[in-house]
Amino acid sequence: MILHIDKATHSSKVQQLADAYEAITIIKEDLIVLVTPSRFKSLQEEHKPFVKETFVFESDIQIASSKYMHQKRSIKIGKQSIGGTSRNVLLAIGPCSVESEDQIQKSAALLKELGLSTMRAGSFKPRTSPYTFQGMGLEGLKLLDKVRQQHGFNIITEVRDSTHVDDVIAFADIIQIGAKSMYDHGILRKCGKTHKPVLLKRGFGTNLQEFVQASEFILSGGNENVILCERGIRTFETKTRFTLDLCGAAYLKENTNLPLILDPSHAMGYAYGVPDLARACMAMDIEGLLIEVHPNPSEAQSDASQQLNHPQFRELFQSLQLIAKAVNRNII
């Protein structure tokens, strides 16, 4: 259950209610919110006078539920926003990893040419092998900061583990929690303590319930700015890197109030399939797309096979504009 309590309520009463229902307390500007485990389905008579509104849920998908908030949350990204009443669709592009100043400047020039606002690039990379490129670390964040200063872009970059979580939170405009870190409770809880937007990627071995429950750790920590990202799950299929779960995307659209971004690049794993998938994603009328684009993909230090080169992305961009128009979305 979620209980809304008047801000003027005495703290001892709030504590009493929180204890009675084993609740997490979130203090908002104009409201106190108690979130109980979903097994609580009703209020005791004596508590009713202290509760303004009660929301009951079937499962521990609560704050993220569309039954709690019918419209998608509005999330501010730089000067713009996604969700809410806006029809914006965030097209976040850039290389898998920050590799050099030249590469980031070339990427920045492409964003500028196309009028895009948000660059993605990882600097702390969660690789599957310790013997491959692990990212430029803080050095890479500084390079991203430079292009942000120059062009005013928003930067999406990933937090890999607890050693640098504070640096990434301080630095990023959108904090990315990767598929392999979706269950890192240290990261989830830290991200709950900031108000910066968090892009939470679905673990490739997690179901939709587990994915949305991971977002509840951030939301119940007090950060309302969570964006979900479906990026492909592992199935029996091996011809593609993962399987983009578009049924799952439809489920998330219908049942949660969190803006949704789809990532065709990591799902497909091969550049040849990314444009078609990206068009399918845009047609799903979601809040954003994450697409890996590199000035010279064959030289990329990570995810080389799936990154589009600049001419390929320019061509894709033209068709994405048409589809965005058809679904009444405005690319930002």
In the complex, the residues that contact ligand PEP under the rule CB under 6 A are 96, 122, 126, 178-180, 201, 231, 266
**Residues 316, 66: Cα–Cα separation, whole Å:** 32
The token duo for 293 is 């684009």
Cα atoms found within 13 Å of the Cα of residue 190, Cβ hemisphere only:
22
Select from Mn ion, ligand PEP, none the partner in contact with residue 231, using the beta carbon and a kind-dependent cut-off of 5 to 8 Å: ligand PEP
Instruction: Give the footprint of Mn ion on residues 83-102 (CB under 5 A).
Output: 96
Residue nearest to ligand PEP (CB): 178
Select from Mn ion, ligand PEP, none the partner in contact with residue 201, using the beta carbon and a kind-dependent cut-off of 5 to 8 Å: ligand PEP
Least separation in angstroms between residue 116's CB and ligand PEP is 17
**Of 60 and 230, CB closest to ligand PEP:** 230
Residues whose CB is less than 8 angstroms from the CB of residue 323 and which lie 6 or more positions away in sequence, other chains included: 279, 282, 283
**Of 36 and 176, CB closest to ligand PEP:** 176
Q: Cα torsion for 110, 145, 225, 246, to the nearest 10°? A: 30
**Residues 236, 214: Cα–Cα separation, whole Å:** 25
Select from ligand PEP, Mn ion, none the partner in contact with residue 196, using the beta carbon and a kind-dependent cut-off of 5 to 8 Å: none
Cα angle for residues 319, 325, 329 (degrees, 5° grid): 110
**Of 84 and 126, CB closest to ligand PEP:** 126
**Residues 237, 25: Cα–Cα separation, whole Å:** 43
DSSP category for residue 251: H
**Of 34 and 232, CB closest to ligand PEP:** 232
Least separation in angstroms between residue 187's CB and Mn ion is 18
DSSP category for residue 256: B
For residue 261, the cross-strand partners are 229, 288
Q: Does 303 bind Mn ion (CB under 5 A)?
A: yes
Least separation in angstroms between residue 307's CB and Mn ion is 8
**Of 96 and 323, CB closest to ligand PEP:** 96
